Amino acid sequence: MENAELYSAASGMQKKDAEEILTEFRDKLNWSRNVRILDVGCGSGEVTTEIILPQLPKDFQEMIGLDVSIDMVKHARNVHSQFNVNFIQFDIAKKSDQITREIMKSIGISKNINPHQKEKQKPDDENIKTATSSRMIVDYQGISPLDNKKNPEFDIVFSFYCLHWVTNQKVALRNIFKLLKPGGEALFTFLAQSPIFTLYRALSKTTPWKDYMQDVEQYIPFYQDADSPVEKFVEMVKAIGFTVLTSECRERDYVFENSSSLRNAIVAVNPFLSRIPSSLRKDYISECLYQTKILNLVSVKNNRYRVTYKLMVAHVKKPEP
């Protein structure tokens, strides 16, 4: 999942689901004035700017796209950064007692390298102030991440097609809870059960690919084998402190127009491909497609490939005091 350009071109399913879910929930979200938005797992940035951004009220304060992949973030910054849209590299599942401070420091640095920020700098907005040589203190609209009393939080957090990749989902959700303002909301959409995970398991038992996929279970969400994935998710988020407004596991399908589209979609998200020696990658990709067919993970009609999967859709809220 390090090829941002391929992911950008091959993520039609992700974009389709994100657009449909956001359209459905837009009027259910509380769009406060000067709303601050966080998009967790922004990937290459298309969902952030092409799907979320057009839905935002005109007076929104800013939107931050966050992703663990530096290659994805670099692509998003180069292609999609705007004056009030910035992208940061950060692991949302990082264990930290200072998650908000760390996020704000990353935001300040990102704003400082955003060319749109430099061109349209507000007179009273000093983004970066360098302190001692040992560390940088970031002032973002007068807010320092080292000031406990002024740590800003987000009004709405979106996360589309990200959380199924997070091994420690509980930590990630707890961090999101901390990053939300009291009364803030989050809209999550992620794979609960998918043929792609069945494919990974099958490949992990096949020679020679099993040598490169020994940690395969770290890339398979525990919902994949759950009889009641919604109950497991609701139990987790309630324990963290969220109020659950909606939580559903929906069966979806998506049609790839040809075998090349299917191939690119599989390659774009495969977390093991970078481990495969370059001399074997073509064979590995061919095996992916072969296993997809013999395991009946897709249905084929008129050279079009239909995949069926289950999507977790959840709308949650951080209670007010």
For the segment 207-241, what is each residue's pLDDT rounded down to a tens digit? 999 999 999 999 999 999 999 999 999 999 999 99
Q: Is the pLDDT of residue 245 over 70?
A: yes
Is-contact 68 88, C-beta < 8 A?
Answer: no
Q: Residue 205 carries which side chain, given as an amino acid letter?
A: K
Of 3, 5, 161, 160, nearest to 69 by C-alpha is 3
pLDDT (tens digit per residue) in 48-99? 999 999 999 999 999 999 999 999 999 999 999 998 999 999 999 999 999 9
**Domain regions of the chain by residue span:** 4-193+222-255+309-317
Confidence of residue 1 (pLDDT cuts 50, 70, 90): low
pLDDT of residue 310: 98
Compute how many other C-beta atoms are within 10 angstroms of the C-beta atom of residue 280: 13
Here the tokens at position 290 are 């072969």
pLDDT above 80: residue 115: no
Can you read off the two tokens belonging to residue 93? 């599942």
Which backbone phi and psi does 307 adopt, to 5 degrees? Answer: -115, 140
Rounded distance between C-alpha atoms, residue 320 and residue 316, angstroms: 13
Residue 239 CB contacts under 8 Å (≥ 6 apart), including other chains: none
The CA-CA-CA angle for residues 16, 171, 219, to 5°, reads 55
Q: Which of 35-44, 118-127, 174-183, 265-274 has the lowest mean pLDDT?
A: 118-127
pLDDT digits (tens, 9 = 90+) for 116-166: 655 544 434 444 333 333 333 333 343 333 333 444 699 999 999 999 999
- Domain 4-193+222-255+309-317 is of which CATH architecture? 3-Layer(aba) Sandwich (3.40)
The DSSP code sequence of 101-156 is HHHHHHHHHHHHH-HHHHHT--TT---EE--STT--EEPBTTB-TT-GGG---EEE
Q: How far apart are CA 159 and CA 313, in angstroms?
A: 10
H-run or E-run covering 203: helix 195-203
